[in-house]
Structure 1
């Protein structure tokens, strides 16, 4: 059985093919057209895996751009797919924190990766990948350097998490001569507090998994651990959780056919 999953995010598009034993995967920027990105990423993945489109038994699309995909057998919400993917990546997970390009999610799951409860912030870009990109630009650094610059620094409290106001506040702090590392540490702390308030509504957790593009930032991970008081684990394929979950759900649907 060959199944595939595509997660079309606001900043990156991820795709996987699963043959029951091996996982083929790829990721690329979404750009201006989710549909075009999905076609390109899926084509690249097929070439990489050596399979043809006709050989794929079932394909599920997820993510904010899922409705624009015209070659998927079915579309499934990212909440469902991220939950299933996180349970596959780190068995025993009971809480998933996913921070992507434009939203953040906290999902309570069972051992099978089924959603028991969730909270989602998709009305505001605060704390998302796009938010971090804007602040990194204001600081004159690359977003990939944020974790290293903040390590060991004393956080400066930030008063705003609104992207526009936070950018202005950061510029003001730079003008006052504040260190970039301290500002970034404060930024990570603010993001963690916001996510922790969502997570705490789900009750106590023993095994927390952090997925999404922002999970690559070790500074945010460390701040989340501090706020939640429990270890926060980041799987190797943290950005692919949604696509992997979509492929696993595709396998379920195909088995029933």
Structure 2
């Protein structure tokens, strides 16, 4: 059985092809066209694997752009796919924190990848990858530099989580001569506090998996772990959790149909 999961996010589109226990992946910026990005990651996977689309038994699309992929066999919510993918990457995880480009999610599971409850922030950029991008731009750095610049710094208080007001606050702090690293540390703590507030509404969990692009940021991970008082697992493939989950669910659907 060969299955593919495609996670079309607001910033990055990810895809995973599973063939038995073997897997391959690819990702690329979503850009202006979610459908085109989804098509391109599928074509890249097929080229890597030396396969044609006719060789794929089932494709599941997830993420905010999932309904645009008319070549997929099924579209499923990212909540379901991230929970299953996080369990694959961190077996036994009963709480999944996913911080993506345009939303953040806290998903409580039964420890086997099945959703039992969740909380989601998709109404504003606060606590998302987009928020971090805007703050990085305000300080004249790339978002990939944030964790290193804030390492070992005492965080300054960031009062607002509204992106517009927080950006103005950051600019004011820079004008006052506050060290950039302290400001970034404060931003990391604010993002973590926002997500922790979501988590506390449904439970802290025992084993926490951190997924999404922001999981690469060690500063955010550190403040999350402190606030929750739990170990947080970040897999090297954390950004692929949704695509993994979609490919795994596709395989399960094929097995049930047999």
* TM-score after normalising by structure 2: 0.98
User: Could you list the per-position Cα deviations for residues 66-124 of structure 1 after superposition, in whole angstroms to 9, with x for gaps in the alignment?
Assistant: 01111000000000000000000010101000000000000001132000000000001
**Which residue number corresponds to residue 197 of structure 1?**
197
User: Could you list the per-position Cα deviations for residues 162-202 of structure 1 after superposition, in whole angstroms to 9, with x for gaps in the alignment?
Assistant: 11111111000000000000000000001111111111122
**Which residue number corresponds to residue 106 of structure 1?**
106
Question: Aligned-pair distance for 1:206?
Answer: 1.2
Q: How does 1:1-257 map to 2 (within 5 A)?
A: 1-257=1-257
Structure 1 unaligned spans of 5+: none
Which moved further from structure 2: 81-90 or 194-203?
194-203
Question: Aligned-pair distance for 1:205?
Answer: 1.6
Question: Aligned-pair distance for 1:256?
Answer: 2.3
Question: Aligned-pair distance for 1:255?
Answer: 1.6
Question: Aligned-pair distance for 1:204?
Answer: 3.6
Structure 2 unaligned spans of 5+: none
- Partner secondary structure for residue 198 of structure 2: helix
CA RMSD of aligned residues (A): 0.7
| Distance in structure 2 (CA, Å) of the matches to 1:89 and 1:226 | 22
| Distance in structure 1 (CA, Å) of the matches to 2:59 and 2:199 | 31
